[in-house]
């Protein structure tokens, strides 16, 4: 029996995906999670054979969710499921270890085929995208590895730093004390091997990290 975890914040899409996979791959056990925290909790409790990860669910914030999970579970097969079909982003997704990229517009039959290919240990990409994929350079891989060591809270602070917010403003947005923000900034500098905000902004920009929603606490 194969166990698959669908990590996506849209219940209707999770239901549709479950239905498509259950019909084509009846031996699957399918688990669900709606945000990054729930995904990590599920991975701690269950023996998952494949994770289907949405890039934009709460806590994931584009590449960070993938980087974070790859750091915690380096041997876990992960495929990204997303509405994004930008070849540059997909190149980076594959470059940091994802075994596949499945657009949300993919048909049910092709989703089942993609899952089977990935479970067999191969990389699956749609034909329309595979020819556009570029190799990720070593510098990006090194940056990604450093960012993956951040906690989700530190990552949020990094994103706000990239947007030019002061510690007081970051604290307000995240509903935490300014002293806590300063502690996060210190930890970020240490983990990224840098010593100023300008360098932090450069790293965040090179990774094309998106800021968390302003309403997130």
Cα 95 from chain centroid (whole Å):
13
* Residue 154 shares a structural domain with residue 87: no
Residue predicted with more confidence, 25 or 207: 25
The number of folded domains in the chain is 2
The answer to whether 69 and 51 have CB atoms below 8 angstroms apart is: yes
What is the domain-level CATH number for residue 95?
A: 3.40.50.2300
The residue among 63, 3, 58 whose CA lies nearest residue 28 is 3
| 71 HSE (CA, 13 A, CB side) | 18
* Residue 46 shares a structural domain with residue 115: yes
* Residue 172 shares a structural domain with residue 114: no
Residue 213 lies in a domain: no
9-46: pLDDT as tens digits? 999 989 988 888 888 887 889 999 999 999 999 999 99
Residue 145 lies in a domain: no
Average pLDDT along the chain: 87
66-115: pLDDT as tens digits? 999 999 999 999 999 988 777 888 888 888 889 999 988 888 888 889 99
The boundaries of the domain holding residue 115 are 2-130
- pTM of the predicted structure, to 2 decimals: 0.84
């Amino acid at each position: 029996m194969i166990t698959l975890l669908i990590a996506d914040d849209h219940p209707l899409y999770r239901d549709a995906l479950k239905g498509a996979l259950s019909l084509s791959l009846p031996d699957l056990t399918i688990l669900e999670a709606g945000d990054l925290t729930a995904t990590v909790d599920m991975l701690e409790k269950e023996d998952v054979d494949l994770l289907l990860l949405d890039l934009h669910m709460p806590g994931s914030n584009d590449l960070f969710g993938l980087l974070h999970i790859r750091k915690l579970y380096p041997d876990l097969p992960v495929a990204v499921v997303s509405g994004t079909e930008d070849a540059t982003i997909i190149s980076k997704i594959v470059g940091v270890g994802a075994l596949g990229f499945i657009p949300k517009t993919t048909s049910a039959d092709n989703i089942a085929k993609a899952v089977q290919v990935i479970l067999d240990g191969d990389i699956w990409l749609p034909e329309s995208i595979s020819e556009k994929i570029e190799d990720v350079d070593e510098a990006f891989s090194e940056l990604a590895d450093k960012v993956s060591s951040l906690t989700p809270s530190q990552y949020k602070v990094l994103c706000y730093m990239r947007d030019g917010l002061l510690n007081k403003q970051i604290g307000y947005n995240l509903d935490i004390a300014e002293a806590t923000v300063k502690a996060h900034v210190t930890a970020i500098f240490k983990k990224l091997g840098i010593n100023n905000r300008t360098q932090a902004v450069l790293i965040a920009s090179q990774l094309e990290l998106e800021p968390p929603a302003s309403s997130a606490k």
